[in-house]
Amino acid sequence: MSLVDNTKNTFALTTPLYYVNDLPHIGSAYTTIAADVVARFQRLLGLEVLFVTGTDEHGQKIQRAAESKGLQPQEFTNQISTEFVSLWKLLNIQYDRFIRTTNPKHEAIVKEFFGRLWESGDIYLGQQKGWYCVSCEEFKEERELLEGNLCPIHTNKEVEWRDEENYFFKLSKYQMALEELYSSQPNFLQPESRRNEILNFIKGGLQDFSISRVNLEWGFPVPNDPKHTLYVWFDALLGYLTALLEPEDEPTLENALAKWYPINLHLIGKDILRFHAISWPALLISANLPLPERVFGHGFLTKDGQKMGKSLGNTIDPVALVEKYSADAVRYYFIKEIGFGKDGDFNEVRFIEVLNADLAKNLGNLLNRTLNMVKKYCAGIPSITNENVPEDNPLKAIGLQLGEQVKASYEVLAFDRAVVAVLRFSQAGNKYIDEQAPWSLYKQGQQQELDQVLYVVLESVRLAAYLLSPVIPNISSDIYQQLGFGIDFNNQIEAAKAAPFANHGNWGLLSSEQQLGEAKPIFQSIELDR
């Protein structure tokens, strides 16, 4: 069993391939925002990044959803897939590849991969009996079911009894290999709570799982027995490999694996944990392929402390949320307010309070008031450099450590810790201005002391904006431009060249040569609808 090669200067990450039985929801948006933050951060570090997202478009649930609307499955999936593309654009998600599992190239990859497993002797024909949740596209063990034969995840959906001939994958054969994986690679699955859950499940014994369905037209036929259709999850997981193909490449596994494989990070919701933490590595081991470096299963979202659902009428429309408040606002709240890996809650009053406090009154106010004082009290930027600022200056002392601290948090996907550290730095900047009272220094003719105070605060705002740029790229770009840097963090390749982390992630970049721009609000306070 081989693992990832860490010597490459590339970083490949994926979201799940989202199931297109319905419009994208806030949970899908949450995962994809997090992935975009990771991709932007890795680019600033100088890595060549491939960010993969897409849609999973086969299976019985899709077929039934299409029928309910009087559409052909392909027509239905085309419509829903387009909605995902539109939402990602609205959220300023800059993915590199959008893979649809109905793509003809994907079928070729699936067939070749199936062939490898067939040759390994890991596929056989058998009889599948059990309770099946169409919404999960998964057989459930009786011990998992809720009272009334309800699915434990789709708690208003009754499972269906199935007794049919299927092709099976010998998952049980890989019990020891998976136990060894989790023993030798404790960071393969994160956070620790998810790892413990999977370890307990594996220790309970693994059963072979069916990888085909009968009486289902919407999907790829089993290569050597076309009256069977490949199970949607077998097909969907392989979309990660298809997405790695360069556009001009022939669809072969060799081409798919050539540059970007193994994948560094799979970001998923915890509801699809077993597929990614058990089935996926077992399939890859069977195919004699290296494993991904890391799988991270984040938590669920609630609204006002309640589970969301159409029946409760309390779902969050991500499109409406972004259109009302902006992409940066939505990105900021979900990244800062929810510890990644834990369950999190959305409350609109709290949402508005956080944005006003952090982005308008804290960071925005610090930039605005300081630029205005520079304009009023100095000719251009303060005539001072980092070297003139003593090491024990309270903001410089924090700033010298902050870049590495935030980098370490981003790397372990502790986004909330990264953002909170930057916000505390910004708060310290506002406190420093109040204590140093530049207006008094000006009146007293203490220009050198005044210049130092204003320089230190401006440099603090710059560093804060840079470190937050993966989360709020529009606001960070606005701040950088007001500070005289012609850098747009949405132009990621150029930003990584012009502002690499090794330089801009450190304290002391501003110089007296800087041509500052006009001060203007970076985030308008939001009025709460009454």
* Residues 199-248 pLDDT 10s: 999 998 999 989 999 888 899 999 999 999 998 889 999 999 999 999 99
> Whole-prediction pTM value?
0.93
Q: What is the C-alpha separation between 151 and 341, in angstroms, rounded?
A: 23
Q: Is the pLDDT confidence value at 133 over 90?
A: no
* Residues 163-190 pLDDT 10s: 889 999 999 999 999 999 999 999 999 9
Tally of CA atoms within 13 A in the half-sphere of 474 that contains its CB: 16
Q: What is the C-alpha separation between 530 and 527, in angstroms, rounded?
A: 9
Q: Quick one: average pLDDT of 279-304? A: 94
Output the pLDDT for position 314.
63
Residues in contact with 403: Cβ distance below 8 Å, sequence separation at least 6, in sequence order: 463, 467, 501, 505, 506, 507
% pLDDT > 90, the chain: 74
Alpha-helical segments (H) within 302-393: 318-325, 327-337, 348-355, 365-377
Output the pLDDT for position 311.
55
Output the pLDDT for position 21.
84
Domains assigned to the chain: 10-298 (3.40.50.620), 348-504 (1.10.730.10)
**Sign of the four-CA dihedral 438, 524, 498, 392:** positive
Output the pLDDT for position 309.
64
Which band of pLDDT confidence, cut at 50, 70 and 90, is reported for residue 387? confident
* Residues 496-518 pLDDT 10s: 999 999 999 999 998 877 888 88
What percent helix, strand, coil does the chain show, rounded to 5? 50, 15, 35
Are 367 and 482 within 8 A, CB to CB?
Answer: yes
3-state secondary structure 253-313: HHHHHCCCCCCCEEEEEHHHHHHHHHHHHHHHHHCCCCCCCCEEEECCEEECCEECCHHHC
Are 484 and 433 within 8 A, CB to CB?
Answer: no
Q: Is the pLDDT confidence value at 428 over 50?
A: yes
